[in-house]
Every structure is written in structure tokens, then in C-alpha cells.
Amino acid sequence: MALCLRTSSRSIIHYLKSKMGLLSFSSSSLTHQHHQKPPFTAPTAQNLRDPFANFSTKVNLLSTRRFQSTKVEEQWDSLNHAHHNQVLDFPGGKVAFTPEMRFISESPVERVHCYRVLDDNGQVIMSSKFKQVSEEIAVKMYSDMVTLQTMDSVFYEAQRQGRISFYATTIGEEAINIASAAALTIDDLVFPQYREPGVLLWRGFSLQEFANQCFGNKDDYGKGRQMPIHYGSHKHNYFTVAATIATQIPHAVGAAYSLKMDRKKACVITYFGDGGTSEGDFHAALNFAAVMEVPVIFFCRNNGWAISTPTSDQFRSDGVVVKGPAYGVRSIRVDGNDTLAIYTAVHAAREMAISENRPILIEALTYRVGHHSTSDDSTKYRPVDEIEWWRSARDPVARFRKWIESNGWWCSEDESELRTSVRKQMLHAIQVAEKADKPPIAELFTDVYNVPPSNLCEQEKFLRETMKRHPQDYMPDVPV
């Protein structure tokens, strides 16, 4: 048995030498010590066959004998520490092992902070860092925010009068529209949801063009095929709105990949609401963007409600911003009612996206003050007092006005003149759009096939015959 112990000990010593480089560590000294009564149980036959099958046990046994050399003892401790702190070289990076079983908490101790520059009174918060804005840009930003407000008011009234079939406002989210657009360039591609007309407004889309689309006349770029607010403009790099939720998000990633392949110094931005993050398109798009390393900005308007569904019924995570890092996407949370914070965040996101070829996720915390659309009555599912508080205390337009006024760039006279002028222009645009002819019926069947298939031709023929038989059911101003 003593011979067996001696053979096993020699094997262990040889292993330690190879791992620690203990050139001065002699096996004879330890062999001599084995003549004393060993303070451990004799090894099993299995251990004799494979002396390293239970290496950790042997280390503990040997540690009962103190080394006379301090250097050797330190090296021994280093080996023991390394044994418990090994890493796995796994795809994506090295992963450290731990003897502790610890589950990642489903909720952090502290929620992700929200970047802010202006307080509720329109004053710059001390020590805040933000992208400086010139007087010219600041005044244009504010003017477009007021224009967007006025446009929403007039179109909403037109729908209630039965002059257009549908409308959705951006009340409470004007800063998101205008400030994000101001931080981009015309070369950047926009994949909107349906609450970002301010981006088009900033890029030069006229009030008349907005009216033409909402009334679906012959001058509408969509040729009357889309319902109101589904804008699109090739000239302004603004892809046509699709009513299907979140489908634009993976499209944006594909477009960003094409920009990367063409080495363009531009990026893509796509907008969506908190409800859109419950769609598979959102998750697939983030993963796609991270893996392909494309210049795209994911802009989430977390306004608290997906029509009548609150965020508490959408997810249990800390909002949307935490979903980015899970997919390897750099992320930030921003005050969605702070014009300067949004402008700064998007400006920085664009620079990172283009220079580093990486996706960025921005979560803007805001509130949808208006109804989801003209088909909705939000007072049925949320308190009126809550709506009014956000309308008055957190209005992004009023907050930004206080800031430009404090800089001496705006006054009450400017305000009155702007609002009067914009409303007058809007009413005129509606009158013109309303009187314009409708697109001919033939346009319903064009722009898809080079040569229309037989079934489509049959449908067109059937529609024309139906209109002739029942003229009272169709608008008289639609050319047949």
C-alpha cells in the first residue's frame, strides 16, 4: 500500500511541476514525509488507475502538509485560485466560470436613467451636456413644431366634419418628430410608422402635399390607394407608411445593409411605438442589425399606450431600452418631450451608426396626448386628468418655446404671427385638395405588374360594370 501511495504522490508532484514550474520542488522531501502516519484515507483502486480523476480531492489532502518555502506556498495558492476561476473560450468571447449558482434578476435594482437637457420650465439643467443649436436651427425647429400642431388640429377637424375618412395626431410627440429629423441629413433613409409626419415636414414636404394625400386626389403620390396619413416621398427619402405594425423595422435593417455595402456615408432610421416591440419583427430586426453590423437607428416612441393596451400589459422589462443590450445593440433612454435631448441623442447615434457601422436603439419616454386615431376614444381606458396633466405640464412645444425665448430668439409677436399664418395656409391647402379631381379607376390596377394578368383584368372589368349599374353608391367625381 505504501508503494501505491508513493506512486500516486509522484504523479501528482509531476503534474504540479508542469503547471507551476516548481523546478526546486523535490519529490524526495515529500516521499520522506510519507513514512509518517498519513492524515488521510488510502486511495481507491479507481484513483490509482487515474490519479487525476479526483484532482481537487488530492489537492485538499496535500494541503494538510505545510510547505517550508513561502514562494512555493504562494504558487500553490495561485494554482488553487486559477482552478476556481477558469474561463470558457466560447464564440463571442471568453466566459468566466463561477462556483456560485446565481440567476440574473428579472428586474434591476434601479431603472435605466433617462437623458434630459431641459427641465419642465425650459431651463438647461446644470452640468448637462448637449449638442449646441444655432438660432436659425432652433427657430426652424420650433416653427415646425407649431406647424405640426396646427396641421393636426385642422386635419382632425376636417375628419370630424366628414371631409376626410381618417386621421391620427402627433399631439405630445412633436419634439420626437422635429428634433430627430433635425439631427439627420436628407441622405438618411426614413422608415416611419404612422406618427412621424413631422420628419417629412422638416425635410420640405409642403402642407399642400400633406392635404393631397389625406384627400386622396390625383396629385397624391400614392394615387389615392392609401388611407389618410400614409405618406411617402421618394424625393425626401421617406418610405411610404404601412399600417401593419412593425413591418418597417426589418425593412430598415435591410436598407441599412445596402448602405453599408455601397459604402454610403448615411444611415437609416426607423420609428415605432412601444406596442411594436411586442411583434417578432422588432426582435428579428435587432438581432439582424447587430449581427450584420449595419448603420441603423431604432427609434421607439414609448408613449405608454398601444391604442388601449398599457405598457404594463406589453412587457415586464424596464421599458424598451434594456432589450437592446440583449441583442448586442448600444442603447439610450431619452426624455421624449425634451427637444434638445432628442436632437443631441439622435445626432450622436447617427455619428456612431455611420462611423462604427453599428445599430443604435433609442427609447423616448413620452405620452400620446391625443386619441390613438379618430376611430378611438382614449377617455374610455385612461383618466382625463392624466391626459390633461401631460397636455399642460409636459407639453414639449411650450417647453422648447421657453428656452428659445430665454435666448432672445422668440417673442409673443412672433408666436401670434406664426400660428395665424400656418392656420391660413392649412385651410387653403385643404380647399385646394378637396376640389382637385380624384385619380381614375384605372390607377387601382397599375404599378404592380408590367403586363396585368388575366384575373386582374377581369376584376377591373367587373368593377367598371358594377359602378355603371349602381352609380348612386359611388362618388360622382371619380373618373371611370
Q: Give the amino acid at 8.
A: S
Q: Are 216 and 224 in contact (CB under 8 A)?
A: yes
Question: Residue 128 is placed in which grid cell?
Answer: 448637462
What percent helix, strand, coil does the chain show, rounded to 5?
50, 10, 40
CB atoms within 10 A of CB 295: 28
Phi, psi for residue 17 in degrees, rounded to 5: -60, -45
Question: Residue 36 is placed in which grid cell?
Answer: 509518517
The Cα–Cα gap between 33 and 457 comes to 101
CA 346 to each of CA 111, 160, 176, 226, 364: distance values in angstroms, whole numbers, following the listed order: 22, 35, 10, 30, 11
The number of CA neighbours under 13 Å toward the Cβ of 272 is 29
* HEC-encoded secondary structure of 258-312: HHHHCCCCCCEEEEEEHHHHHCHHHHHHHHHHHHHCCCEEEEEEECCEECCEEHH
Strand partners, 307: none
The Cα–Cα gap between 188 and 334 comes to 21
Q: Are 367 and 172 in contact (CB under 8 A)?
A: yes
* 3-class DSSP state of 235: coil
368 counts as catalytic:
yes
The Cα–Cα gap between 123 and 299 comes to 25
**Among the options 368, 371, 394, 399, which is catalytic?**
368
The Cα–Cα gap between 118 and 116 comes to 6
The Cα–Cα gap between 14 and 17 comes to 5
**Among the options 301, 372, 394, 399, which is catalytic?**
372
CA 443 to each of CA 220, 434, 464, 470: distance values in angstroms, whole numbers, following the listed order: 12, 19, 13, 20
CA 95 to each of CA 81, 88, 90, 101, 204: distance values in angstroms, whole numbers, following the listed order: 16, 5, 7, 15, 51
The residue among 293, 209, 231 whose CA lies nearest residue 257 is: 293
84 counts as catalytic:
no
The Cα–Cα gap between 352 and 331 comes to 11
113 counts as catalytic:
no
Catalytic residues: 368, 372, 381
